[in-house]
Amino acid sequence: MFDAAPLLRDVFGFDAFRPGQEEIAHAVASGENVLAIMPTGGGKSLCFQLPALMRDGVTVVISPLIALMRDQVRGLQEAGVAAGALTSGNTVEETEAVWAALEEGRLKLLYMAPERLASGAAMGMLRRIGVNLIAVDEAHCVSQWGHDFRPDYLRIGELRRALGVPLAAFTATADAETRAEIVEKLFDGVEPCFFLRGFDRPNIHLAFAVKDSPRRQILDFAGGRRGQAGIVYCGTRAKTEVLAQALREDGHSACHYHGGMEAEDRRIVEARFAREDGLIVVATVAFGMGIDKPDIRWVAHADLPKSIEAYYQEIGRAGRDGGPAETLTLYGPDDIRLRRNQIDEGLAPPERRAADHARLNALLGLAEALTCRRQTLLGYFGETDVTCGRCDLCDNPVELFDATTPVRMALSAILRTEEWFGAGHLTDILLGNMTDKVRERGHDLLPTYGVGITFSKAQWQAIFRQMMGHDLVRPDPGRHGALRMTEAALPILRGEAAIELRKDTVRAAARRPAVKAMVGEEDAPLLSALKAKRRALAEAARVPAYVIFPDRTLIEMAEKRPATLDQMARIGGVGARKLERYGAMFLEVVNGAAEMLHPARRRLAGRDTAATYDRLLAVQASLMRGPDGIDKPLSCSAAQLARVAQMRADDRNAVQQALGDRRWERFGAAFLDVLGQSD
């Protein structure tokens, strides 16, 4: 008989379950394997904490966020539940107290980070303490297609098999692909009891805005909610500190939080945020604030998140008490470029990077949505029956325009250049800009050359961005960011469908000055690929990345695109030793294939003698069967050719000695002619 009412009331202080909680908690308490998809703030933790008290033994909770674990343990302890966490953020006293409670058999819930499962000692300890249930929070981290993959989550399935106990997995963000991988990795492909409780948080107001003096935009947003608790997410540690200081100077109570801080300093911020009213925490998204504070009234993103899943989780920190909450997400071309670069510079396989680009396209689709944002957001997770009235686009609908003609122009340019170029070069074609690249490739002869002069370069960039948001085109990691059309683009290209875009985004693009980037837009994906290769080599050698090549060397490679080792040798920072060690590998990144050279020839790359070697090789080929083409084939070794290439024409005896009598007779006179031309 499932009677959780006394525990629900006496321990947790609730008179009734929230929608969906009771049946999930019942399944977990009954020992079923469970996968539950619940909206952020929907009360996932109760669904494993309550069953933990109803079952004998210890429930192990695997969670990726130290802050979240500490917050839940603190709440349980205050409710009189014996709970503890083993984390790197513990004090010595906290860890000793957890071990003592385990040894005495008092502990009911033990929180651990997945990284601890890598230790054989941890596995032995879990076997010994009488674990009766495993609960996995943020279960999407097991999926390599998810937005926050943690490789240590892959050990959880092994733990379940080793302990022979039921497992309950929870997440707020998992599309069909991610759910399938969770089932495969955590449940060995056997379908668990599955609960999908929807993703809508109707109390949260959604809003996006293009960056325009972003610090002032954040200060204005916070100023309109003065005295309310809020979180500002930033893309870098440095920005969290600068923005927190700006908020304090503007009269707010604010502090920063990021992974570079000392553990004690992070604990202080966590404690302040849990305790103080009206505190603003400015945090990095990578270390997000995993704190179950119910009265956070607003969340702002100073930088674009990396995916819809990440966005949904981060805004879900607000309004957990069911009261009204507001959000604001700022974005701009630089954010999108940064996120693209992060994908391309990663070490994931091409299919994963392609999937990540598609996920980023989906987030752009939300940022550049034409109508209700809630419909776009929930539609991504498969929900179609949506009622809104709580987003900026429902408050103030945007003006649209028929963009079928410019979009067809862009798609035609992509098609006629065989999907080998990015938005920068395509824009030059559409605007009729006679760049060196346009001239060299004959793209000034295309029918699309110069047809798009009614829009500026910045406006074309905005159009391409909205095309990505509609998932008409995607960057191809295998072609260094070249845009490739999706199936959705074909009806528009063929004139079978029309498309509308937002006029405000295109209009605003004409007013915003372009930000100077390290390289041009067309070369940025290649630079990212070169950085990814450098990172892999640096990690393998356990040296800083700049030891392989500094940024300025990779920038020159991206801009000049050397096709041979000789051209690579002329790149600044590529000396003879590095050319020998790394040249072929970086050439393969630039050109898609390594230049096949004999090691003897490769050592001459970049020197004047390299050209001499190549001419000697050509002469040898013409005389291989003698001057009349009827003699027995004869050739020199690569090492012999390399030695001769470094000689002078008046070194007749040395050349003869290097070749030997037979080869001297066949090639000697012709080789001396080549050496004479080189002097």
Question: Whose CA is closest to 462, among 401, 381, 377?
Answer: 401
pLDDT for 598: 62
Question: Whose CA is closest to 54, among 74, 79, 73, 27?
Answer: 27
CATH fold group of domain 204-395: Rossmann fold (3.40.50)
Cα angle: 354, vertex 351, 499; to 5 degrees: 30
pLDDT of 341 over the 90 cut: no
What percentage of the chain reaches a pLDDT higher than 90?
Answer: 35
**Count of C-beta atoms within a 10 Å radius of residue 443:** 21
**Count of C-beta atoms within a 10 Å radius of residue 678:** 16
Rounded to the nearest integer, the mean pLDDT of the chain is 86
Q: Tell me the per-residue pLDDT of 230-268, one tens digit each, with 9 for 90 and over.
A: 999 998 899 999 999 999 999 999 999 988 888 888 888
| Residue that wins the pLDDT comparison between 29 and 551 | 29
Going by the DSSP 8-state scheme, the letter that residue 306 receives in this structure is S
CATH 3.90.1150.10, applies to 524-596:
no
Question: pTM surpassing 0.85?
Answer: no
pLDDT for 410: 96
pLDDT for 516: 47
Q: Tell me the per-residue pLDDT of 160-180, one tens digit each, with 9 for 90 and over.
A: 998 999 999 998 877 778 888
pLDDT of 596 over the 80 cut: no
| Residue that wins the pLDDT comparison between 674 and 59 | 59
Backbone angles phi, psi at 101, to 5 degrees: -65, -35
Helix (H, G, I), strand (E, B) or coil at 312: helix
pLDDT for 241: 95
- The β-bridge relationship of strands 400-402 and 500-502 is antiparallel
Fold agreement between 5-196 and 400-509: no
pLDDT for 58: 93
Q: Tell me the per-residue pLDDT of 201-227, one tens digit each, with 9 for 90 and over.
A: 889 999 999 888 899 999 999 999 998
* Helices of type H across 188-320: 214-223, 237-249, 263-275, 308-315
Mean pLDDT of 642-646: 86
| Residue that wins the pLDDT comparison between 341 and 474 | 474
pLDDT for 333: 81
CATH fold group of domain 5-196: Rossmann fold (3.40.50)
pLDDT for 280: 95
Mean pLDDT of 371-382: 90
- Evaluated on CA atoms 198, 43, 280, 390, the torsion sign reads positive
Q: 609 falls in which pLDDT band (50, 70, 90)?
A: confident
pLDDT of 634 over the 90 cut: no
**Count of C-beta atoms within a 10 Å radius of residue 615:** 17
| Residue that wins the pLDDT comparison between 290 and 319 | 319
The answer to whether the beta carbons of residues 500 and 400 sit under 8 Å apart is: yes
Supply 275's token pair: 């305790």
Distance from C-alpha of 288 to C-alpha of 299, rounded to nearest angstrom: 12
The answer to whether the beta carbons of residues 357 and 422 sit under 8 Å apart is: no
Distance from C-alpha of 343 to C-alpha of 107, rounded to nearest angstrom: 42
DSSP E strands in 311-450: the ranges are 325-331, 400-402
Q: Tell me the per-residue pLDDT of 660-671, one tens digit each, with 9 for 90 and over.
A: 888 888 888 888
Going by the DSSP 8-state scheme, the letter that residue 391 receives in this structure is B
pLDDT for 1: 42
pLDDT for 515: 46
Cα distances from 26 to residues 49, 54, 108, 134, 297, in angstroms, run: 12, 10, 18, 15, 32
Backbone angles phi, psi at 34, to 5 degrees: -135, 140
pLDDT of 309 over the 80 cut: yes
Supply 523's token pair: 């070369």
pLDDT for 595: 53
pLDDT of 317 over the 80 cut: yes
pLDDT of 26 over the 60 cut: yes
Identify how many contiguous H helices and E strands the chain contains and give both numbers: 32, 18
The CATH label, of 1.10.760.10, 3.40.50.1820, 1.10.1060.10, 1.10.10.10, for the domain at 400-509 is: 1.10.10.10
Q: Which residue reads 């469970």 in tokens?
A: 34
Mean pLDDT of 392-402: 93
pLDDT for 519: 66
| Residue that wins the pLDDT comparison between 183 and 599 | 183
pLDDT of 514 over the 50 cut: no
- The domains of the chain are located at 5-196, 204-395, 400-509, 524-596, 608-678
Cα distance between the two ends of the chain = 98
Q: Which residue reads 């294939």 in tokens?
A: 593
What percentage of the chain reaches a pLDDT higher than 70?
Answer: 94
DSSP E strands in 139-290: the ranges are 167-171, 193-196, 204-205, 208-210, 230-234, 254-257, 280-284
